[in-house]
Chains A and B, each alone.
Chain A
Amino acid sequence: MKKTVEIIVHTFFWIIYTAITLMLSKVYLQAKPDAPFSDQLVYVISLELFMGLLFFYITFWGISWTKGKTMRVAILAFILLFLLLFFSYPAMRIGVWEVMSSILPHIILVFLAAIFRKFSDSVQLEQEKQNLMYQNMQSELALLKMQLSPHFLFNTLNNIDYLVHTDADKASDTLAKLGAILRYMIYDAAVDKIDLCSELSQIEDYIGLIKLRVKDEKYLKYKLSGNCQGLRIAPMLFVPLIENAYKHSASKEGENIISLEIQISGRNLLFNICNAYKPDEREPQKHSGLGMNIVKRRLELIYPNRHEIIISTRENVYTVELSLELDENEMHSSR
């Protein structure tokens, strides 16, 4: 829909541009019927249109291509300057106003092309914003569904109930973790970016609950290296991956069934999770569909060209490796 608006605006612009060129030529010819171009009006209009299109779209697409790099900006400026001089050369023998009349409209077109570029970017930005909002909403819903599922709650509450009789302190601690996770999901995770340390703390709480579900301390091996201070990240990116690993693990008991490692190095973050899956499962985690798709889509929208997700299966081990490169806006120190 938005792309259509852009195409309509461009089409109207060129129709009006051609109409203005034609009209000005006609008014000029009325004043000077013997002008040199009087016999070739269509050719002159076509040439004007061609030159206009050339200047406009070289600038329009060139600006995206430069990506703010000085060298590319210089190349674009050089090309435009060369074209300006090239097209104004024939007018140099006629007079200064004719030279100006060749240069100025093209400068105006270059200027307008830059504005149109911004217009185009704003249309795209709006579309991406809507997509992101939709995906975030989907993601929140999916997470709420996943985490607040009766299965998850009953399992955890049953375990807590058992702990109340055997280890009251641990029961209280687990209840606090459950409360913290629910509070985080409902209130804290409703923002675009969240403190990485808070997100990691939630992951630890979440792991604590998983361990409670399997009753085996060494069921999930978790290793964190690096410093999370001063970094921010999109909330709830990792939890679906951990839940996915748990859901599809080969067994709900035993040691090192799931292995999770998070490495932070400068502004780079590496998340790696492996789980053993049942050997008879031909396509492991194929049905993890919605959760995984939401994670992938969110990554595309929030970290375009700054993330890599590799999913592999080898010797009955399913691995998800996600690397993220945080930008300056995601570092507190630079704000």
Chain B
Amino acid sequence: MKKSIEIFVHLSFWVLFILFAVLLSKIYLEVKPDAPFAQHFAYVIFMEAAMGVIFFYTTFFVLPWVGKKTTNAAILGGILLALLILFAIPAMGLGIWQVLSSVVPHLMLVLLAFVFRKYADSLRAEQH
């Protein structure tokens, strides 16, 4: 029962995340129909979701392991930083706001993954 609640919460979160990504892209395309990604809309949304999933679940699944040692926290920090830079590289030619628009939402996902982890732990504790 508790596991199904957890899966439902995660699914709802990703549905809302994708809807939000679609919405922002649509609004942007309304004011700039000739944006470079206009022809690859589905691909861009897919990439956004994929990057989000990577950030979120890297944090979510690794957190219990991180709590055991300070070195583990440093390793996770290193991985997340490398991913942030990797995903921000394509935006670097476009401007500072575009770079930030790649970095900041992923930071938010890391924070939310932490909160979701705690939520999952509380569900498990409740079951115990």
Contacts and interface: CB of A to CB of B under 8 A. Distances in A.
Nearest to A95: B30
B28 A27 contact: yes
A20 interface: yes
A116 B111 CA distance: 11
B114 to A, nearest CB: 7
Chain A interface, DSSP helix/strand/loop, else mixed: helix
A32 interface: yes
B122 A31 contact: no
Given A104-B16, A111-B13, A24 B24 contact: yes
A37 interface: no
Nearest to B27: A97
Contact of A122 (B17, B24, B112, B122): B122
Interface in B28-75: 28, 30-32, 35
A56 to B, nearest CB: 13
B7 interface: no
B119 to A, nearest CB: 4
A27 B108 contact: no
A17 interface: yes
B101 A105 contact: no
B79 interface: no
B105 interface: yes
A12 B104 CA distance: 11
Contacts of B126: 125
B26 A122 contact: no
Contacts, number: 91
Contact of B9 (A107, A108, A115): A115
Interface residues of B, number: 37
Interface in A103-119: 104-105, 107-108, 111-112, 115-116, 118-119
Interface in A25-39: 26-28, 30-32, 35
A101 B115 contact: no
Contacts of B35: 31
A30 B95 contact: yes
A92 interface: no
A47 interface: no
A125 B121 CA distance: 11
Chain B interface, DSSP helix/strand/loop, else mixed: helix
B92 interface: no
A205 to B, nearest CB: 32
B108 A104 contact: no
Given A16-B111, A31-B31, A125-B125, A101 B23 contact: yes
Contacts of A17: 108
Contacts of B101: 20, 23-24, 27
Given A16-B111, A27-B97, A118-B119, A104 B27 contact: no
Q: Which 5 A-B pairs have the closest CB atoms?
A: A122-B122, A31-B32, A32-B31, A26-B97, A118-B119
Given A101-B24, A111-B16, 4 more contacts: A104-B23, A108-B17, A115-B115, A115-B119
17 contacts: A9-B111, A17-B108, A19-B100, A19-B104, A26-B97, A101-B24, A104-B16, A108-B16, A112-B112, A112-B115, A115-B112, A116-B115, A118-B119, A118-B123, A119-B115, A121-B122, A122-B122
Interface of A: 9, 12-13, 16-17, 19-20, 23-24, 26-28, 30-32, 35, 95, 97-98, 100-101, 104-105, 107-108, 111-112, 115-116, 118-119, 121-123, 125-126, 129
Interface of B: 9, 12-13, 16-17, 19-20, 23-24, 26-28, 30-32, 35, 95, 97-98, 100-101, 104-105, 107-108, 111-112, 114-116, 118-119, 121-123, 125-126
